[in-house]
Structure 1
């Protein structure tokens, strides 16, 4: 640790941290060229090079774009991923428990559903869904994104770092555990964020200048990484598992020395760096736009060529007699020119090159086939189907039936996003809710039980239909066979089947009663049925006794003849004569 760091009470060696930042930038440099090219074709203004220290503003208009297929398809992909993975208008996740015994507690399901509802409210009140849409666009374009989640008493806050401004590092398992990024801040912004006590004098001077306070920008670096030196058991800002350090770029310190603006920490990793796909030990991901880039480049060139051909067809180059060189020739529509038709050189203006209409038609047909290749590469048809159908009517079954093959292609992407983005997001949000007292009281029966995140979005359910289809087919087969042989139903464990089916479809946790409660209900029902049967049997016996008594009475009162002898008398007399 440097003397400067010790003097300021910092636990990190800022010079070593900055050296690591520069090394990670050098390692990332080959990706910068590719990202810039991808941004030009699919997502302009989303790439910001941190090697550019000027105050030059990025180009706002897409002057080099002729064919906008790539831009529109990337917009469709981002919207489709948003609607299919993290829709703001329907539940896309639920929370369970890893401990199956704890999950069967009577009040576990209701508590988990309440946690999910509160979390959804917090996400809706934040800027999460806006940032998520941009993150999906980065994933589709660059194959990589970086989103930071923080919280205060006002709620959750999300920040998306543009591609080209951040560097990443991974641990031995290949998971991103370090990020650093540069941001350009004015002197006024630096003092507002960090206070006057920690900024160098030249920043204070610039802030006092009314013009420079808002027009002079400085490089500020933020790094978050696992803290190697800390006192375990203490959770103050300098002993948390993840270190958070802000410092001025070495070129902006006024003396070439590092200047730490703030050092603190996080209990859990505050960022999500999902990747569309990863090759080997690469720290940065690969995107579908990389595969569609050659077709998109071809579209730009074909678009320019076809436009030139159409321009020539409607306004071809012409041959004009040299004698008319100094004459004013009017080639505008309805123009009138007085030409001499005598002499060896006739005064006729003729086109030099004529473009045949069938050539333009063939070119447009070829362009359309290349556009379809871009559509397929960016899954535009699949995502348009997701967006154009009525949300109240579309089901995962319909999606699987119509777009099974494309959903299979997206399967690995969905699984990777669940692991690198959505599951960490839900778990960190839960931890922040606990820190800021946003959770309902936890039942004692599930205290300390680890959570499990399950996803019930349209795309997640479509992937899970692989497990429900065998259930549907088996059950339908057994029901058909049972019409001829009912005992075949004995092979089916209906309780297990219902629970597995409900879990695959993402039914609410509170919907399924705990197994213990189900057994109690069935035992109570069986006991009630036994009591009812016993009562019915007792009533039947009593009724039979009443019937016999009534019959005997009737025999003693029923006359058989004029002498008044009754049926009972006759019966007794008959018995006596035997």
Structure 2
């Protein structure tokens, strides 16, 4: 029996939803000004037809839109490059890596995990995750095992989904990880019937699925994922062996689909590990939510859009100014269309109203704001300078600077999401029988994951620089004492 009733789970979901009302206002501003085609995030939209794809007049300057897209694409390639293996496994106790057959087994494990991730939709959903991190500072990625009821005979790997932040809610554990995850779904009766067995669906929903009048009516269905088994020493339970296949109701992480209106449980099951991961771009101590480049630049983004909008209005007045005409000098309203004929007494007193706008000052202020926005999104580090004279050394220094700036973010993302994803994928592969047994004596050895992406390597660049300095010093010394080279 679950430790939570459906009503208790819904109450916990509602508490999570209430606790983030303030930050949702910031996220909504970012959606309007940085991700204009994501729609109104926190307004109820009955369907996609409610999104006005043509009218995005909140954005009058697209600097932030382009800068966010550039940064998210760049960090995707720098951390999890789709064309290179970006991690490798090793034993935590370094001397075990030299045991006979250990390196070969570790290489095989790393390759199997990597190919499993490559065969999934990780690169697509990972790109969406990076966009959310650059904009909202927080994202939620879910990894699903495709095995049905523990049957791995027709196993089809793993699949990922980046949950829209407007639908995702979670409770944090003491380390900042996900202790419980909730997703708010808005489904029609037809969608509910196609997802769940008919006997679990209330009669009213079944009737709506057959009625043409209710075909567009949506219902809130909440997915609740929570840790059920607390482990040894707590509640008198032993830690389950998640390396072996077990019935869904005995797995340590349970899930429920609950109809919000009457708390009906539409479906239930279990996971071996928490499938949801919540990476943050950067995070302040004591806060559940991350902060992002878009949040830092948001005041400048609002200002530059307001100034650009005012500039359009001022430009309209300068191009098509108001006209001052003495009352007795015209016989009818002036017609300014092409080829029009106007009857006037005299044109001497017909003058255009001065706009009074200083467009040079406006352009200068907007340019300063654009530079500030681009700096917040690290655009200066991501772009080569506009000169063909950049040397290879200058390019390396620029790349090293960029990697050092983004290195802390890469470390947090690796800790929050990619390390847990690799660990969960390893366990899924082990249960599916896709990983060979380790060499004798290493069955209980702990594994570590080393990340190989450029940003991860930048964290150890001091070691590489130290080696370079030693080699350079040795070469200088060898000019006077050549025999010293034999000692190196």
Question: TM-score interval w.r.t. the shorter chain?
Answer: 0.7 to 0.9
Moved more, 236-245 or 413-422: 236-245
2:303 to 295, 298, 310: 298
Structure 1 residue matching 2:288: 3-state secondary structure = coil
1:149-180 deviation digits (Å, cap 9, x = unpaired)? 00211221111111222222112233332221
Corresponding residue for residue 504 of structure 1: none
State whether structure 2 residue 238 is matched by structure 1 residue 232: yes
Following superposition, the deviation at residue 136 of structure 1 comes to 0.8
1:176 to 158, 175, 178: 178
Corresponding residue for residue 556 of structure 1: none
Corresponding residue for residue 241 of structure 1: 252
1:412-467 deviation digits (Å, cap 9, x = unpaired)? 21111111111111111111222223324543353332221111112222332222
- Are residues 47 and 160 of structure 1, via their aligned partners in 2, closer, same or farther at CA, if it must alter by over 3 Å? farther
1:79-109 deviation digits (Å, cap 9, x = unpaired)? 1111111111222222222122221123222
1:437 to 433, 443, 458: 433
1:90 to 60, 75, 84: 84
1:50-99 deviation digits (Å, cap 9, x = unpaired)? 77485583443423211111111111111111111111122222222212
Paired residues for 1:75-474 under 5 Å: 75-152=69-146, 153-210=155-212, 212-213=214-215, 215-228=216-229, 231-232=237-238, 235-249=246-260, 251=261, 253=262, 258-323=263-328, 326-333=331-338, 335-341=340-346, 348-354=349-355, 359-385=358-384, 400-440=396-436, 442-444=438-440, 446-474=442-470
Corresponding residue for residue 53 of structure 2: 60
Structure 2 residue matching 1:421: 3-state secondary structure = helix
State whether structure 2 residue 18 is matched by structure 1 residue 18: no
Following superposition, the deviation at residue 347 of structure 1 comes to 5.8
- Distance across 2 between alignment mates of 1:489 and 1:98: 35
- Are residues 247 and 467 of structure 1, via their aligned partners in 2, closer, same or farther at CA, if it must alter by over 3 Å? same
Following superposition, the deviation at residue 381 of structure 1 comes to 3.0
Structure 1 residue matching 2:199: 3-state secondary structure = coil
- Distance across 1 between alignment mates of 2:168 and 2:305: 30
- Distance across 2 between alignment mates of 1:320 and 1:122: 76
- Are residues 170 and 233 of structure 1, via their aligned partners in 2, closer, same or farther at CA, if it must alter by over 3 Å? closer
Following superposition, the deviation at residue 40 of structure 1 comes to 1.0
Query: For the Cα contact (< 8 Å) 1:243–1:265, is it kept in 2?
Result: yes
1:269-313 deviation digits (Å, cap 9, x = unpaired)? 111100111112111111111110011111111101211222222
- Are residues 22 and 462 of structure 1, via their aligned partners in 2, closer, same or farther at CA, if it must alter by over 3 Å? same
Query: For the Cα contact (< 8 Å) 1:174–1:281, is it kept in 2?
Result: no
Structure 2 residue matching 1:212: 3-state secondary structure = coil
Query: For the Cα contact (< 8 Å) 1:35–1:47, is it kept in 2?
Result: no
- Distance across 2 between alignment mates of 1:474 and 1:129: 40
1:94-127 deviation digits (Å, cap 9, x = unpaired)? 2222122221123222222233233232222221
- Distance across 2 between alignment mates of 1:399 and 1:430: 38
Corresponding residue for residue 21 of structure 2: 29
* RMSD (Å), alpha carbons: 2.8
Query: For the Cα contact (< 8 Å) 1:276–1:416, is it kept in 2?
Result: yes
Corresponding residue for residue 152 of structure 2: none
- Distance across 1 between alignment mates of 2:258 and 2:40: 20
- Are residues 437 and 210 of structure 1, via their aligned partners in 2, closer, same or farther at CA, if it must alter by over 3 Å? farther
Following superposition, the deviation at residue 247 of structure 1 comes to 0.6
Following superposition, the deviation at residue 42 of structure 1 comes to 0.9
- Distance across 2 between alignment mates of 1:52 and 1:414: 34
**How many residues get paired?**
464
Structure 2 residue matching 1:158: 3-state secondary structure = strand
Following superposition, the deviation at residue 216 of structure 1 comes to 2.1
Corresponding residue for residue 538 of structure 1: none
Alignment TM-score, normalising by the size of structure 2: 0.87
- Are residues 445 and 476 of structure 1, via their aligned partners in 2, closer, same or farther at CA, if it must alter by over 3 Å? farther
Moved more, 459-468 or 293-302: 459-468
